[in-house]
Amino acid sequence: MSPSTPFFEAFGPLLFGRKPGSKLKELKQIQSLGELYEVFGDLIPEKLLGRSERGTNSRERALPPRVTFWAFVWQVMQPQSSCREVVRKIEAWWRWMQKDRSGMPALSASAYCQARSRLSSETLELILSHSAHNLERHVLSQEEGPAGRRVRIVDGTGVSMPDTPSNQSCWPQPSAQKPGQGFPVAKLVGLFSLSSGALLEQEVGRLREHDSLLLTRLMGKIRKGDIVLADRAFCSYAALATLAARGADGLMRLHQARSADLRRGKVLGPLDRLVVWSLPLQCPPGCDRETFETLPQTQAVRLIGLRVKVPGFRSRSITLVTTLTDPMIYPADDLRELYAKRWNVELHFHQIKIALGMDILRCQSPEMIEKEILIHFIAYNLIRAFMQRAAHIHHTDLFRMSFKGALDTSRHFASAIHAASSTPRKQDALLAQILAAIAFDPVPLRPHRSEPRVKKRRPKNYRLLTKPRLKMKLTQHRNRWKAKSPKTALS
């Protein structure tokens, strides 16, 4: 049996040498990345994870960038796994494969954390872009948007992180929380593909930065011909005019501050009007001064009324605004159906934050927080690529597949793939079974499902932290919480 691990063989020849000295000399000759490479290897160029000629990753180490990267990805795909658990996995396979255990190098959680810090953020961004490009490259023509155009979805969310001084200085906690009682929060704005579900680009900002400002930073990533779906937080004159200037179009829900009077403007159809917006007199908060000065004085937009009727609920009326002004090419009903698909971005963020555990990050410094976010997004795109492959082979709907099911299936089938490493045909058969298991385990179709965000199981009877922990001296009896006085604490 070739040296490999249950989840990926990158921990194989890269780690299991005869002696530490000869092991490091052979690292540059290793090409195989094992099971993860067999599934996702076409998405990540090997040269991005190789040794550099000079600089941080130029030395021969026991944990080179390739091993560290796949270890980090494995850790993200196993939520709540610690750095010590990753190190123990490496050591276990080291000891299993090494006949002569006398000269084995010692690994620690600190060594693994230092190896993670040596990963370049630029390299991780290139890997993320390459994985997204591969997902987009395999999109079928029937999966594209109206008139064969690419459709992008943009939305924002927030993530929490450890309460360290460096994190607080970079991403301050909400102002409603007192010092020492809250956690730093970063705001993320992601640009997703509607056809493949891939995360194309992302921007990280502070909690107090408006979503429109982060969208402005992503404008350079939007290409000519794209259609951008967004909610009303991104709806502004500056956003729509900037998209039109780039040759792209926007379809958003009308901001609540603007009038939704569909009795004005040129009639294009029922609840369909063409109006002209004027440039605001002052630069809005979500737009910088330089961009604002380059905007045109007027912008033609189209207002479309949408009546939402769900059985058992009161009907709602919302208004859409778009720069797709030709009613012959883009009928109003088609645009209404297209905007309904914007909800997919909420599911994508849920999969990243809950299934992959990005809701609460664990790194202690802003540099590592950014890398941890990138690794989560890379892992998400890798699983998405697996799902896309299963959908194309078995002719199933990509968005009926369970992301959590695909994650669990690929993770638990890994041990069987490892056991069949000496028989390539059996490995191929197991990979085919993984794709079939993902394709034929769809999410139940439950239209108009509504579940309140409530918990049935009650939490433990502990008080909340209302002051810094060092100042809060409490008794150990949960039912009789009493703060110790300074005199009692000193006695």
* Predicted confidence pLDDT, tens digits, the chain (491 residues): 444 444 444 433 333 333 444 443 333 333 333 455 555 656 677 788 777 666 676 677 777 888 888 888 888 988 888 889 888 877 776 666 564 445 556 778 898 899 899 999 999 999 999 999 989 999 988 788 888 899 999 999 999 999 999 999 999 998 888 887 889 999 999 999 999 999 999 999 998 888 888 998 899 889 999 999 999 999 999 999 999 999 999 999 999 888 888 888 899 999 999 999 999 888 887 777 888 888 899 999 999 998 887 766 666 889 999 999 999 999 999 999 999 999 999 999 999 999 999 999 999 999 999 999 999 999 999 999 989 999 999 999 998 999 999 999 988 887 777 667 678 888 788 888 989 999 998 888 877 777 777 888 888 888 787 777 777 765 444 445 555 555 554 44
Instruction: Determine the pLDDT at residue 455.
Output: 84
Please state, in angstroms and rounded to a whole number, the distance separating the CA atoms of residues 348 and 192.
8
DSSP code of residue 484: P
Q: Residue 277: which H helix or E strand, with range?
A: strand 272-278
Alpha-carbon distance values, 438 to 350, 433, 434, 483 (Å): 19, 9, 6, 54
Q: Tokens for 63?
A: 């944990």
**Cβ atoms of 307 and 339 closer than 8 Å:** no
Please state, in angstroms and rounded to a whole number, the distance separating the CA atoms of residues 338 and 26.
53
Instruction: Determine the pLDDT at residue 242.
Output: 92
CA angle 135, 137, 138 (to 5 degrees): 70
Instruction: Determine the pLDDT at residue 425.
Output: 87
**Cβ atoms of 202 and 189 closer than 8 Å:** yes
**Cβ atoms of 9 and 32 closer than 8 Å:** yes
With the CA atoms of 186, 191, 194 and 197 taken in that order, what torsion angle do they form, in degrees rounded to the nearest 10? Answer: -60
**Cβ atoms of 449 and 460 closer than 8 Å:** no
Comparing CA positions, the residue from 360, 356, 351 lying closest to residue 182 is 360
Please state, in angstroms and rounded to a whole number, the distance separating the CA atoms of residues 116 and 119.
5
Instruction: Determine the pLDDT at residue 20.
Output: 41
Place of tokens 């290793």: 30
Place of tokens 């994870």: 49
Phi–psi pair at 483, nearest 5 degrees: -80, 130
Radius of gyration of the chain (CA): 26
Instruction: Determine the pLDDT at residue 445.
Output: 83
Alpha-carbon torsion 314, 319, 322, 327, what sign?
A: positive
**Cβ atoms of 179 and 165 closer than 8 Å:** no
Q: Are strands 316-322 and 298-308 parallel, antiparallel or unpaired?
A: antiparallel
DSSP code of residue 470: G
Rounded to two decimals, what is the model's pTM?
Answer: 0.85
**Cβ atoms of 192 and 383 closer than 8 Å:** no
Q: Residue 135: which H helix or E strand, with range?
A: helix 121-137
**Cβ atoms of 375 and 73 closer than 8 Å:** yes
